[in-house]
């Protein structure tokens, strides 16, 4: 039985993973808070990404740039003029929609009805019209396709308008034009503006990369599908600076490396695929998405983009500061290669989308003789690694279990639980994805061994206490 998005949302809330933001005031659309287990899972995801992208590469280092940046940053990046979604309103329901999503929905309907050709033709047409900014014709297409508002059921549409997705605010107390700044819509630009700082202070040689994890903000018009599309979210991005001309080689390399990562954290190969972009963004000469099969279909979790020298060149132009690298190597002609603006391969993944992918994939309901729900998370991602459970509280078992928990806690997140029947306690841990439950029984008091109960197989094995740290520590490491 496959889970619905509603099952996922309910489980996430009931077991302390994700809550609607400001819920006591009925929430805020497309903004979410992570609870006690969610924050652990998300931190673990960020840690494994950071390790995979920095620690394991001698030539990739990290930064943590500010959310606020000089307003010209967003002029240079193209976000002021081009970071728009086409939006259309239904005059009867007064509801607002993304024009491209209405058409994509129609294409999905065609595809579901076996009319793949029609679906492809519609998407192609839409791509052409949007690239050419022919917004009136996008509206005509919506009407011609008979697309109606899901609420009013009418096709009484307004014109299509471009809507900039950046949030803005004022710096200081005076509301002047010059004090208008944006909340960053992507973390990448904090890396680009620091490119030379890092290169020089770290004596980095091209090819090298800069990684960053941080919040980004987008005023998404249509926010749905839980944490898939949020207005405040976190990105994990890496910009890899290469010699012009070598970018396609690195693009292919990163495409494969990033796919391997998603498999390594436990996402199954059959739920992952590449999706090449038919329509390239203004800054890219090649782009691919890694898609994951969510309960609502295959959707992007990560983008790998060959961004050329677009960003660095524009920053150089607007800041009037040279953003060039001196390459001391010799070229094929035997002469020094000298100065150039590097090309960039970007890998960009949303921490929240990856969280949702890992969570959806882990959510398992076993039917049969005894129904069981558990989170089959990669142990490195599990919020809690081990739970120590005394069989009974008396005869010194509770104290012994507490002692074991205290010693394991120094190495990985461990909880102690003595409340209720042992079966109930196993269930509690299953529901939040704890990979190992350690039961302390009368035999423990005799020979210093415990049983480890494995979450997925429910098998139990007897292990000496002094081997727990190594055995579990090894399994939960990434």
| Chain residues in the site for ligand ATP (CB under 6 A) | 186, 218, 220, 229-230, 233, 235, 300-303, 348-350, 352-353
Q: 442-461 b/e with 16+ CB inside 10 Å = b?
A: eebeeeebbbbbebeeeeee
Q: What is the 3-state secondary structure (H, E, C) of 237-294?
A: EEEEEECCCCHHHHHHHHHHHHHHHHHHCCCCHHHEEEEECCCCCCCCCEEEEEEEEE
Q: Is 234 annotated as a binding residue?
A: yes
In degrees and rounded to multiples of 5, residue 51 shows phi and psi of: -65, -50
Q: Is 230 annotated as a binding residue?
A: yes
Q: Is 462 annotated as a binding residue?
A: no
Residue 179 DSSP code: G
Strands, E assignment, 361-476: 363-366, 372-375, 386-390, 414-416, 436-440, 449-454, 460-464
Q: Is 461 annotated as a binding residue?
A: no
**Coil, helix or strand for 301?**
strand
Q: Is 354 annotated as a binding residue?
A: no
Q: Can you tell me the distance from the alpha carbon of 29 to that of 22, in angstroms, rounded to the nearest whole number?
A: 10
- CB of residue 113 to ligand ATP, shortest distance in Å: 25
**Coil, helix or strand for 330?**
strand
- CB of residue 270 to ligand ATP, shortest distance in Å: 20
**For residues 312 and 345, is the Cβ–Cβ distance under 8 A?**
no
Query: Nearer to ligand ATP by C-beta: 73 or 348?
Result: 348
Query: Nearer to ligand ATP by C-beta: 349 or 404?
Result: 349
| Among candidate residues 96, 77, 27, the one with its CA nearest the CA of residue 239 | 77
- CB of residue 290 to ligand ATP, shortest distance in Å: 8
Query: Nearer to ligand ATP by C-beta: 33 or 300?
Result: 300
**For residues 41 and 358, is the Cβ–Cβ distance under 8 A?**
yes
Q: Can you tell me the distance from the alpha carbon of 7 to that of 360, in angstroms, rounded to the nearest whole number?
A: 9
Query: Nearer to ligand ATP by C-beta: 130 or 401?
Result: 130
- CB of residue 368 to ligand ATP, shortest distance in Å: 35
Q: Is 475 annotated as a binding residue?
A: no
Query: Nearer to ligand ATP by C-beta: 238 or 476?
Result: 238
Q: Which residue is nearest to ligand ATP (CB)?
A: 350
Preceding omega of 207 cis (within 30 degrees of 0) = yes
Q: Is 372 annotated as a binding residue?
A: no
Q: Residue 55 region, left (φ>0) first, then alpha (ψ -120 to 50), else beta?
A: alpha
- CB of residue 434 to ligand ATP, shortest distance in Å: 27
Query: Nearer to ligand ATP by C-beta: 113 or 264?
Result: 264
- CB of residue 281 to ligand ATP, shortest distance in Å: 8
- CB of residue 189 to ligand ATP, shortest distance in Å: 12
Q: Is 351 annotated as a binding residue?
A: yes
Q: Is 231 annotated as a binding residue?
A: yes
Query: Nearer to ligand ATP by C-beta: 310 or 374?
Result: 310
The total number of residues written for the chain in this structure: 478
Residue ranges for the known binding site for substrate are 98, 186, 233-237, 346-350
Residue ranges for the known binding site are 98, 186, 218-220, 228-237, 300-301, 346-353
Residue ranges for the known binding site for ATP are 218-220, 228-233, 300-301, 350-353
């Amino acid at each position: 039985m496959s889970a619905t998005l509603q099952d996922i949302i309910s489980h996430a809330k009931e077991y302390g993973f994700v809550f609607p933001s400001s819920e006591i005031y009925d929430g805020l659309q497309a903004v979410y808070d992570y609870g006690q287990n969610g924050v652990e899972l998300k931190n673990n995801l960020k840690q494994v990404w950071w390790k995979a992208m920095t620690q394991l590469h001698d030539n990739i280092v990290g930064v943590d740039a500010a959310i606020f940046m000089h307003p010209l940053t967003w002029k240079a990046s193209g976000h002021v003029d081009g970071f728009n979604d086409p939006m259309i309103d239904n005059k009867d329901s007064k509801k607002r929609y993304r024009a491209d999503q209405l058409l994509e929905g129609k294409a999905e309907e065609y595809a579901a009805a076996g009319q793949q050709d029609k679906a492809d033709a519609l998407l192609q047409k839409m791509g052409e019209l949007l690239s050419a900014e022919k917004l009136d014709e996008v509206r005509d297409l919506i009407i011609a396709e008979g697309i109606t508002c899901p609420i009013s059921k009418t096709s009484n549409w307004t014109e299509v308008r471009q809507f900039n997705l950046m949030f803005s605010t004022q710096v200081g107390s005076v509301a002047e034009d010059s004090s208008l700044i944006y909340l960053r819509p992507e973390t990448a630009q904090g890396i680009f503006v620091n490119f030379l700082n890092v290169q020089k202070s770290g004596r980095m040689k091209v090819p090298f990369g800069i990684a960053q994890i941080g919040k980004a903000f987008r005023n998404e018009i249509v926010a749905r599908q839980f944490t898939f599309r949020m207005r405040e979210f976190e990105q994990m991005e890496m910009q890899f600076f290469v010699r012009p001309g070598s970018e396609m080689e690195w693009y292919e390399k990163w495409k494969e490396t990033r796919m391997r990562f998603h498999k390594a954290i436990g996402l199954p190969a059959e739920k992952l695929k590449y999706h090449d972009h038919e329509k390239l963004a203004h800054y890219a000469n090649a782009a691919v998405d890694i898609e994951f099969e969510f309960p609502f279909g295959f959707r992007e979790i990560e983008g790998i983009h060959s961004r050329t020298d677009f960003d660095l060149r524009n920053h150089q132009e607007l800041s009037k500061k040279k953003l060039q690298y001196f390459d001391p190597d010799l070229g094929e002609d035997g002469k020094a290669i000298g100065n150039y603006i590097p090309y960039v391969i970007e890998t960009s993944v949303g921490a929240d989308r990856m969280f949702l992918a890992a969570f959806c994939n882990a959510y398992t309901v076993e039917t049969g003789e005894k129904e069981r729900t558990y989170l089959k998370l990669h142990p490195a991602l599990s919020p809690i690694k081990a739970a120590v459970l005394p069989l009974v509280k008396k005869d010194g078992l509770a104290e012994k279990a507490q002692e074991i928990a205290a010693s394991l806690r120094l190495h990985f997140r461990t909880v102690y639980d003595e409340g209720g029947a042992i079966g109930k306690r196993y269930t509690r841990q299953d529901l939040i994805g704890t990979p190992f439950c350690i039961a302390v029984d009368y035999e423990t008091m005799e020979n210093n061994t415990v049983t480890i109960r494995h979450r997925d197989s429910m098998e139990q094995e007897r292990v000496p206490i002094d081997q727990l740290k190594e055995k579990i520590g090894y399994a939960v490491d990434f």
